[in-house]
Amino acid sequence: MKNKYIVLVCGLNIRNHNRISLDEQQLALRAVADELDAQPVRDKGSYLIVSHHERTQIANLIVGALQRYRHDLEIPGVAVASPAVVGQALDELAMALGLTYANNFDAKNHGIKLNGDTWRAGLALPLYLVDLPTTRSLFHQTKNAMIFGWTDGAILVAKREAKNVHWGTSVTDPASRLLRRQEGIEADLTSRSANILRELVGLA
């Protein structure tokens, strides 16, 4: 039986760090093509994976293939989630933002217009093997990030669209700190825009 997973590799193509093109990623993953089929979306290490393997083996195969191709890559971990879990989180995100921001939220591109700024919504997922606690709704804002709580498998987030404001530390660090403060859970996260994740869900 084939399993489908959304896999997000943490740390690729962050500014000038860990640079690896989409073409190189695809070449690297050919080495494990008999074990899994990987459909990438953009170049940050975001894939829909189809395989008979379970999550742990998939994570090991992906990281191993990338690091064999490029020995200098530093990969802290990967998030592995089912398309159903990510799809449900995207629905929860759109519902929360539609209710909160009404006409200032564009569901087509997950943009939010606030006080002259544009924010972009997305999800932060825990690096495997960590799971999130029970679904919770809350609101927390920093200068560059907003956190709207979490669902089964994903934290609902948004980041301010501005120069040098990236999904990496701008969103994942405050989300991780909030999770530790509210739930006592230590979790490393990786985040992506809702648009990328919606593309991945659409491939499933």
Distance CA 127, CA 202 (A): 22
pLDDT digits (tens, 9 = 90+) for 44-56: 999 999 999 999 9
72 φ/ψ angles, rounded to the nearest 5 degrees: -90, -5
pLDDT digits (tens, 9 = 90+) for 84-130: 999 999 999 999 999 999 999 999 999 999 988 999 999 999 998 88
22 φ/ψ angles, rounded to the nearest 5 degrees: -60, -40
Query: What beta strand segments (E) does the chain contain?
Result: 3-9, 36-40, 46-51, 78-81, 105-106, 111-114, 117-126, 136-141, 145-150, 155-160, 189-193
- pLDDT for res 42: 93
Task: Report the percentage of the chain scoring pLDDT > 70.
Answer: 100
Task: Report the percentage of the chain scoring pLDDT > 90.
Answer: 84
Mean pLDDT of the chain: 94
Which tokens is 193 given? 């825009």
* Angle (deg, nearest 10), helices 194-203 and 83-101: 140
Residue 132, pLDDT > 90, answer no
- pLDDT for res 88: 96
Residue 168, pLDDT > 90, answer no
CATH code that applies to domain 3-81 = 3.30.70.1280
Distance CA 154, CA 131 (A): 9
Torsion of CA 173, 85, 61, 40, to 10 degrees: -90
Domain boundaries, given as residue ranges, for the chain? 3-81, 83-203
- pLDDT for res 17: 81
pLDDT-derived band at 178 (thresholds 50, 70, 90) equals very high
